[in-house]
Amino acid sequence: MFYSSENELIDNQPSINDFYNNTLVKAYLNTPAGQLFYAYAKPEHAHTAIVISSGRIEGLDKYKELLWELYTNNFAVFIVDHQGQGRSYRQLANKHKGYVKCFTDYRHDLHLFNQQIVDNHWQGKKILLGHSMGGAIAFDYLAHFENSFSGLFLSAPMFDIHTKNTPKPLAKLIANAAVFFGFSQSYALGQNDYSPEEFALNSLTSSQVRYKNFRQTYQDPLLQLGGVTYGWLQAAFTFIASVDKLSINIPLFIASAERDEVVDNTAQYKLANRHNQAIIKSFAGAKHELLFERDEIRQPLLTSLYQFCE
């Protein structure tokens, strides 16, 4: 298998950009509420399709390296920007606010994307790859809709979240109260418009090269997304409360980031323990964004993905 490396990432940018501009098919999917931006590419002799459900704040532009890498390894790739982020529609006047009316809206969007785009362009084996919030969406979707996926591979899935210095019960109470009193579209306490952190302070990755690349990509104002609203927070807590009642009947791989400060890993192990086809693996030294980590973390992660796809 070919592995993209940090040392060659800058030199490979022309090839990655050429793939993005000339090979990747990009378009918009109409939904009743707005348009979802998506992309796909199919190598001539592809054997498996990987459908990607990305994390909060992420757009497919951020996934250029991975899409190029998977395509180079003969995988068909499909990816969609969730509503409220990337180049998909956003509901609020302040485009920086992370907002969704109901977490179930995400799964309906993913179902529509799979039905109308993926299944129209691909009839072979499919693996669903979800990261963080996108992992939660992927699991929620598979638990509610008939589908033809052969497996679910999750990177640091959001089955619970860290609430920093606020106890979780209090955070839930505040979110519910704020929504009740009409503040669903207001930023949650401490949340603001997009403002990139210095690498030394970031909680996402320990790869300086990939972090810099991410922030350079997000200099495009259309991609920028800030913190979450009380509405998003309540929707997330509602989903998290439902996780114990959800199940899927296909193989599941959970990649857990040892140093994750964004999602609470305890919920990942709890879910894996009740799923009879689950494998969970902790990646030592990894921060939240496993797919954008240092090579010594990212390459074993991708090896696990490739083995899972066999």
Tell me what pLDDT residue 167 has. Answer: 94
Q: Is residue 72 part of a domain?
A: yes
Average pLDDT over residues 145-159: 98
**CA proximity to 183, closest of 226, 228, 224:** 228
pLDDT band at 166 (very low <50, low <70, confident <90, very high): very high
Dihedral of alpha carbons 142, 300, 286, 76, sign:
negative
Q: What is the CATH number of the domain that holds 303?
A: 3.40.50.1820
Q: Bridge-partner residues for 51, per DSSP?
A: 78, 128
Tell me what pLDDT residue 67 has. Answer: 99
Tell me what pLDDT residue 195 has. Answer: 98
The tally of domains found in the chain comes to 1
Average pLDDT over residues 47-66: 98
Q: Is residue 27 part of a domain?
A: yes
Q: Is residue 276 part of a domain?
A: yes
Boundaries of domain holding 281: 6-309
Average pLDDT over residues 242-267: 98
253 touches 286 (CB < 8 A): no
**CA proximity to 202, closest of 267, 159, 259:** 259
Q: Is residue 1 part of a domain?
A: no
Q: Bridge-partner residues for 130, per DSSP?
A: 53, 154
Reported as a single tens digit per residue, the pLDDT across 94-105 is 999 999 999 999
Q: Indicate the residue type of 227.
A: G
Tell me what pLDDT residue 261 has. Answer: 98
From residue 267, alpha-carbon distances to 71, 97, 121, 163, 244 in Å are 32, 26, 35, 14, 9
Percent of the chain with pLDDT over 90: 99
Tell me what pLDDT residue 207 has. Answer: 99
Tell me what pLDDT residue 263 has. Answer: 98
What is residue 266's three-state secondary structure?
helix
Q: What is the DSSP letter of 7?
A: H
Tell me what pLDDT residue 9 has. Answer: 97
Token pair, residue 103, equals: 């977490």
Average pLDDT over residues 175-192: 98
Q: Is residue 14 part of a domain?
A: yes
Tell me what pLDDT residue 74 has. Answer: 98
Tell me what pLDDT residue 56 has. Answer: 98
Average pLDDT over residues 236-242: 98
Tell me what pLDDT residue 176 has. Answer: 98
Tokens 């619970």, residue located = 160
For residues 137 and 74, give the distance between their C-alpha atoms in angstroms, rounded to a whole number.
Answer: 26
Average pLDDT over residues 76-99: 99
Q: Is residue 158 part of a domain?
A: yes
For residues 179 and 143, give the distance between their C-alpha atoms in angstroms, rounded to a whole number.
Answer: 27
pLDDT band at 205 (very low <50, low <70, confident <90, very high): very high
- Enter the pTM of the model: 0.97
Tell me what pLDDT residue 59 has. Answer: 93
Tell me what pLDDT residue 68 has. Answer: 99
Tell me what pLDDT residue 135 has. Answer: 99
Reported as a single tens digit per residue, the pLDDT across 168-179 is 999 999 999 999
Reported as a single tens digit per residue, the pLDDT across 263-306 is 999 999 999 999 999 999 999 999 999 999 999 999 999 999 99
